[in-house]
Homo-oligomer: A and B are copies of this chain.
């Protein structure tokens, strides 16, 4: 029961939302995503990102196309499917409700 562990627990399910959000703004390949997340102070590791993208693709939320790179191997560029877009909107709603709920329970005079 340490903070590092709790931090990764808190990430569960939320990363999915963030990643869909990044891809939703335009085709992206894994390193793009890591970069955008880092800019928002949300680190995500490759060992987390790759399996997550695979899950989302298998669930028909994402598609990808191979794009040649001039500095290394080809890259998978991901984009949202219609289903993925619909799912994203549900996640958005879910996050808002959760976030409001947590703030309601914890942000009370006595706790500040």
**Closest approach, in angstroms, between the C-beta of A5 and any C-beta of chain B?**
8
Q: Is A97 an interface residue (CB 8 A)?
A: yes
Q: When the two chains form their complex, are residues B17 and A102 in contact, meaning their CB atoms are under 8 A apart?
A: yes
Assembly stoichiometry (copies):
2
Please judge, given known A-B contacts A1-B55, A1-B59, A3-B90, whether A105 and B12 are in contact too, CB under 8 Å.
Answer: no
Interface residues of A, Cβ cutoff 8 Å to B: 1, 3, 6-14, 16-18, 21-22, 24-25, 36-37, 39-42, 55-56, 59, 61, 87, 90-92, 94-95, 97-102, 104-106, 108, 110-111
Given contacts A3-B90, A24-B110, A92-B106, list 18 more A-B pairs with CB under 8 A: A6-B16, A7-B94, A7-B98, A9-B12, A10-B13, A11-B13, A12-B13, A21-B106, A21-B108, A21-B111, A25-B110, A37-B105, A40-B102, A40-B105, A42-B101, A42-B104, A42-B105, A99-B102
